[in-house]
Amino acid sequence: MDTSNDSKNLKVEIQANINKDKNMQNDSRSPKVERSSKGTGERRTADDFYFGKLIGEGSFSNVFLAKDIHTNQEYAVKVCEQAHIKREKKVEQIVREREVMDIINTKRIPTAPFFVKLSYAFTDSTKLYFVMTYCPKGELLELIQRVGNFDRECVRFYTAEIARALEHLHSLNIIHRDLKPENILLDQNMHIKISDFGSSKILSKVDTEKIEDGRPRKSSFVGTAQYVSPELLESKNVGPWSDLWALGCIIYQMVSGLPPFRSRFIFANILRLNHEFRYSFKSDFQSQVIKVIECEARLGARDIDGYPSIRNHPLFEGLNFDSLHEQTPPEICMPEVEAEPNLWENHREPGLGNELELLLGSELKPGQSIQCQGQSIKIGDGENKTETTVVKSAKRNIADVGKEEEATRLATQEKDNQWHRFVEGNLILKQGLIDKRKGLFPRRRMFLLTTGPHLYYIDPVNMVLKGEIPWDPTIKPEAKNFKTFFVHTPSMVDRFEDINGFILHIFEW
């Protein structure tokens, strides 16, 4: 496997492309898959792949299902806009992700194949592409949400696979720092593949010496709120044990169905270890979870070579950690779900030239109108072109409601609106069904924007209040395309899809 193009060269090339250097070149001198009868020894470009449906989204990237036109091998291709990478100051993060995946590729061992593999990396004048392992069974989070919680054998098996993966990762002096169920994928055989190394840290020799002799090593905040360790919040000595904390949180979530820390005061609760067990665990479950979550007695934190204290825990009695990849995962009884969508629907020519159409799911129709920032935009009927007609909107701000009008509308709402009981006496200003997405499968919710302001979301089938998006000056909406958008809050990033399409008028809110 050719790894001659190191990450420094990739960084230079990204920055050169971002700055529109005259000598822009594609970077395909990256890890290669096995040779086939045609083309795999040559440089790769986007035109060497068919691109299918969008299967994942991040704050600065989209992930598409793709197929090599020479081998028919399926991949997950992460596509990043170089201008966005520069604007958001993410160049170092991208380079670090590439470096970590190169190390894992080079140091891959048969007993710990639990990582997404980078097969190709290349750039063009505007985008960066990472061609990686495709995991058709989706995220561990989505699986937990579908079944509610795991039984003992499932928790035992998947905890062991994650622990074995961390053993190997930490032996390479790499800390993941954002380990969570969303970043643990499942392959065709239901074995785990850890992904998303953008927040990872490659420990230097000095870092390793500090960890070994106990000297403090400060670190800036990275990761996801529900799984971040106390020492990271307090900028204390940070090391591989921070990933063990995340493992403890994941164990808790596999058993109970929810992360241990999830209130509006999440950071304070983490620092105080203020959590409660929602289920009556068997003694070995409780011991495993508490010992990993408690900062002073974290299971594995003091181990020198691997994690024998985890391997020897009663929970794993009789389980061979070094043959997990050869074992059949425990069967998980899952509820019936709608058939999975056709991820290859409407793919046409090689390359990403039809990226917008892939993002929109081919839902732009001639004659259809959308609302965008107070303007009505009509899609024209011309072939291969879009004609727009813009009509200025004279609508007032929906929050401009006087006291008398509010009282009248509240009286009507209380009488006629079935959602009134969920909004704590506030006036509903806007309501509608939106898919709140986690993993590959969305959850349809009724969203209610009210005075206050408040933004509630309801399970419309079971008529249960599922939560409220915290509203403060730091909340930030981000539209990815005409259908998908993110809402950034201090503690998390939520992803939504408007089932009617064309949601850019969300910014009016």
Query: What pairing do the DSSP bridges indicate for beta strands 441-450 and 49-57?
Result: unpaired
Structure tokens, 182: 């969303």
Residue 475: exposure state from Cβ atoms within 10 A (0-12, 13-18, ≥19): middle
Q: What is the DSSP string of 54-83?
A: EEEE-SSEEEEEEEETTT--EEEEEEEEHH
Sign of the dihedral defined by the CA atoms of residues 85, 356, 378, 345, in that order: negative
d(CA 353, CA 349): 8
Please indicate whether residue 472 is annotated as part of the active site.
Answer: no
Please enumerate in sequence order all residues whose Cβ is within 8 A of that of 394, keeping only pairs 6 or more positions apart, or say none.
none
Look at residue 359 and give its three-state secondary structure. Answer: helix
Q: Return the amino acid letter for 109.
A: I
Lookup: tokens for 403: 């006291």
For residue 117, what are the β-bridge partners?
none
Q: Is 415 annotated as a binding residue?
A: no
Q: In what order do the strands lie in the sheet with 118-123?
A: 49-57, 61-68, 74-81, 127-133, 118-123
Q: From its phi and psi, is residue 191 left (phi > 0), alpha (psi between -120 and 50) or beta?
A: beta
Select which of 178, 196, 243, 498 is catalytic.
Answer: 178
Instruction: Give every CB contact of residue 218 below 8 A, 6+ residues apart in sequence.
Output: 235, 236, 238
Question: Which pair of structure tokens corresponds to residue 154?
Answer: 């499932």
Alpha helices in 76-221 (DSSP H): 82-87, 91-106, 140-147, 152-171, 205-213
Q: Which residues contact 199 (CB under 8 A, 6 or more apart)?
A: 93, 176, 177, 178, 222, 223
In terms of Cα–Cα distance, which of 89, 76, 49 is closest to 354? Answer: 49
Query: Which among 292, 279, 221 has a CA at the least distance from the CA of 251?
Result: 292
Q: Which residues pair with 378 in a beta bridge?
A: 369
Q: How many CB atoms lie within 10 A of CB 350?
A: 17
| AA identity, residue 19 | N
Q: Which residue has the tokens 């998303």?
A: 196
d(CA 266, CA 197): 24
**What contacts 461, CB < 8 A, 6 or more positions away?**
none
Size (the chain), residues: 509
Q: Which of 249, 289, 256, 286 is nearest to 270 (CA)?
A: 249
Under DSSP, is residue 442 helix (H, G, I), strand (E, B) or coil?
strand
Distance, CA of 287 to CA of 270 (rounded, Å): 18
Query: Which residue reads 């090593």 in tokens?
Result: 217
Annotated active-site positions, please? 178
Positions at the binding site for ATP? 78
